[in-house]
Amino acid sequence: MKNIKFLILGIFFAIVLSKTQAISWYRFYEMFKFQSFHMFGIIGGAVVISMIFMQLFKNGKIKDINGNKIVPKPKKKGFVRTVLGGTFFGLGWGISGACAAPIFVILGFKLIPALILLFGALIGTLIYGVLSKKLPN
Amino acid sequence: MDFILQPWAWYIGGPLIAISLLLYFYFGQNFGASTNFETLCTIAGADKFSDYFKKDWKDRDFALMFVVGLIIGGFISAYFLTPDKSIDLNPKTVQELTDLGFTEVTNQYFPDEIFGEEAYFSLKGFLILIVSGIFIGFGTRYAGGCTSGHAITGLSNLEIPSLLAVIGFFIGGIIATWFIIPILF
């Protein structure tokens, strides 16, 4: 059971998102309306501290569990795909107040609506997969 | 115990999310959540529709374990760790939402108007959820990441594609909350 650590990390991450209200529809509404610092503080704080970790990965001060250098996978490039794809994602996020990880966490809070969201997300992924070669990059 | 049951401030949440990212990489994998949508599609047989899904999902068993953890963690949080689901929102936000017809605005995590039984059993409510889900799934795979993969991992690694994706997230989120929500409600 070498993957049990990911299970425990998932439980931990879900608790962090739940306790900081970073799964709440209202918190994201507030964020997109720029009416509160809370979500900006959470995401901004996570990014700033992660930047330090990234530096420590790069200069080899932190290695992975097997002693290998940690090299985050580069992201796929492309202006249209990132901005347009991001906009679609933002529309879904803004209306439903859920993004990828929270959908799974929300199953514990609101089972049926979260299942509908998840089902939609899988249909959306399927649509992307089918169209992927035809979409502009 | 008191601390566990109180809502946690942003300056607790930010570092704990960064530590989650650190552990994920320490365990030898890239931090992110939305690739799991692809994996779940593959398991459900989506490779019949597109070669895009012809992948060996067993390579991503660690990520599926993370997802199972997210679900378990959600149930634990909902039933044991959040006895107080009230949210300290900006009074302006509360007023706006009340004017749109939302009720119980500061008393819960999820509005009844979207997540309540009456909402999702109605055609309009069901469509709101399913279409949002489709946008989330399509958008995150097209953009190559979600809030975890782009906004946190990518931005902290100074990736230009992630900056563009986050700009896209905000364009979409602003259109949704400033223009679409007032039309829908």
Question: Could you write out the DSSP letters of every residue in A56-81?
Answer: HHHTTSSB-TTSPBP-PPPPPP-HHH
Say how far apart CA A44 and CA B3 lie, in whole Å.
23
The token duo for B55 is: 């992948």
ipTM above 0.85, yes or no: yes
Residues 6+ apart with CB under 8 A from B181: A29, A94, A95, B100
Max distance between CA atoms of chain A, in angstroms, equals 46
Q: Which of B140, B148, B183, B184 to mutate to test the interface with A (most CBs of A within 10 A)?
A: B140
Identify all chain B residues contacting A85, using CB atoms and an 8 Å cutoff. Answer: 138-144, 165, 168
- Report pLDDT for B3: 83
Band (pLDDT 50/70/90 cuts) for residue A99 is very high
The predicted model scores a pTM of 0.97
Look at residue A40 and tell me whether its pLDDT is greater than 80.
Answer: yes
Query: Which phi and psi (to 5°) does residue B88 adopt?
Result: -85, 80
Q: How much is the mean pLDDT over chain A?
A: 97
Quick one: which H or E segment has residue B28? none
Identify all chain B residues contacting A129, using CB atoms and an 8 Å cutoff. Answer: 38, 41, 46, 49-50, 52-53, 141
Question: Contact A26/B132, CB-based, under 8 Å?
Answer: no
For residue range B60-96, list pLDDT tens digits in order: 999 999 999 999 999 999 999 999 899 999 999 999 9
For residue range B36-61, list pLDDT tens digits in order: 999 999 999 999 999 999 999 999 99
Question: Contact B133/A21, CB-based, under 8 Å?
Answer: no
Quick one: which H or E segment has residue B53? none
Residue of chain A minimizing CA distance to B132: A92
Nearest-neighbour CA in chain B from A99: distance (Å): 7
Least CB-CB distance to B78: which of A25, A81, A108? A108
Band (pLDDT 50/70/90 cuts) for residue A15 is very high
Nearest-neighbour CA in chain B from A112: distance (Å): 8
Question: Contact A3/B152, CB-based, under 8 Å?
Answer: no
Identify all chain B residues contacting A93, using CB atoms and an 8 Å cutoff. Answer: 132, 136, 147, 169, 172-173, 176
- Report pLDDT for B145: 95
The domain spans of chain B are 1-83, 116-185
Question: Contact A25/B10, CB-based, under 8 Å?
Answer: no
Identify all chain A residues contacting B181, using CB atoms and an 8 Å cutoff. Answer: 29, 94-95
- Report pLDDT for A1: 72
Q: Which of A1, A15, A71, A127 to mutate to test the interface with B (most CBs of B within 10 A)?
A: A15
The residue whose two tokens read 């990014």 is: A47
Indicate the SS3 state at residue B18. helix
